[in-house]
Structure 1
Amino acid sequence: MTIQTVAHLNFRGNARAVLAFYHAVFGGQQTCVTWGQVYGTTDAVQSELIAWGQVQSDDGFHVMAYDVPPERAWSAGDTPFFVAVTGNDATTLTRYWEGLTVGASIVHPLAPAGFSPLYGMLKDRFGITWVLSLSTSQAVA
């Protein structure tokens, strides 16, 4: 059996902007389906919110997102999760890092670390914490 794990990010009204930003960084295909399209919502504001969206690239990047409807409780929290991107090409990983840094707060700069030849952590302009690392064949003791 094979499974795939995909980060599904929840937002309050800005999922479309989030997906557009990640699409600009990682490329691939972007899909945005509104609450109006899926559920026939007629409220002018809610009908344009994202009920389901994703960005999926040929490189293997995949993230989903939606706008939590106004009647449901939602809080971004402090740091409820990280989105981890691990790859085997430093140039591509650096390109992703540079794209994500726009408007971000750097937690740990992209640099060699004891467990990875290249590692960085940042909180992007939407409050999502990203961890990027270069994979290594060396076991960490």
Structure 2
Amino acid sequence: MSINTVAHLNFRGQARAALEFYQSVFGGQLLVTTYGDFGMPAGLPDAGKVVFGHVVADNGFRVMAYDVPGAEPLPAADAPTTRRENGTTITSEPFFLSVRGETVEEVGALWAALADGATVVEPFGPAQWAPAFGMLTDRFGVTWVLDVAAEYVPA
């Protein structure tokens, strides 16, 4: 048996913009279907929101997203937060998205693109466990962990 796990992100009216941004960072094909495409009358507030969307790239990147119907954006005070404090990560978020690549240059380019409009939690640079690591919360409130795979040395 073969299975895949793909992150499915829930937004409050920002799914299309987030998916378009992720496509600009990772490349690949974008598919967006709205509630209106599924028959919701055009005059209703949610008709233009995303009921199903995904980005699929040849480099292995995949993400899915939709807009929670009827949901308004969260007030900033209610948004999840992540920060570094005394060398540890403190967070109220239930998950992070992790991106791992093979070279500092490859992952550094993704970092630079994701960092546009983001809040940097931990700057991208050398780490004890990896040639490079960084953490940021993007402009859509999604926290990403990016790192470069350390070379495996068998015991």
Per the TM superposition, whether the score is higher than 0.5 is: yes
Q: Given that residues 25 and 113 in structure 2 are in contact (C-alpha distance below 8 angstroms), is that contact kept between their aligned partners in structure 1? A: yes
Alignment RMSD (CA, Å) = 1.9
2:88 corresponds to? none
Letter in 2 for 1:117: P
Q: Give the Cα–Cα distance (whole angstroms) in 2 for the partners of residues 45 and 20 of structure 1.
A: 21
Q: Go from structure 1 to structure 2 and tell me whether the alpha carbon gap of 1:125 and 1:64 turns closer, same or farther (over 3 Å shift).
A: same
2:11 corresponds to? 11
The structural deviation recorded for 1:107 is 0.6
Q: Does 1:62 align with 2:76?
A: no
1:86 corresponds to? 100
1:127 corresponds to? 141
Q: Does 1:109 align with 2:126?
A: no
Q: Give the Cα–Cα distance (whole angstroms) in 1 for the partners of residues 99 and 138 of structure 2.
A: 14
Q: Given that residues 13 and 73 in structure 2 are in contact (C-alpha distance below 8 angstroms), is that contact kept between their aligned partners in structure 1? A: no
The alignment of Structure 1 onto Structure 2 pairs a total of residues equal to 137
Q: Give the Cα–Cα distance (whole angstroms) in 1 for the partners of residues 10 and 109 of structure 2.
A: 25
Q: Give the Cα–Cα distance (whole angstroms) in 1 for the partners of residues 2 and 106 of structure 2.
A: 26
Letter in 2 for 1:48: G
Work out the percentage of aligned pairs sharing the same amino acid: 45
The structural deviation recorded for 1:77 is 4.7
1:52 corresponds to? 52
The alignment's TM-score, normalised by the length of structure 1, stands at: 0.89
Structure 1 runs not aligned, ≥5 long: none
Q: Does 1:2 align with 2:2?
A: yes
Q: Go from structure 1 to structure 2 and tell me whether the alpha carbon gap of 1:12 and 1:73 turns closer, same or farther (over 3 Å shift).
A: closer
Structure 2 runs not aligned, ≥5 long: 81-92
Q: Give the Cα–Cα distance (whole angstroms) in 1 for the partners of residues 140 and 73 of structure 2.
A: 15
Q: Deviations over 1:84-137 (max 9, x none)?
A: 001113222111100000011111111111111111000011111000011123
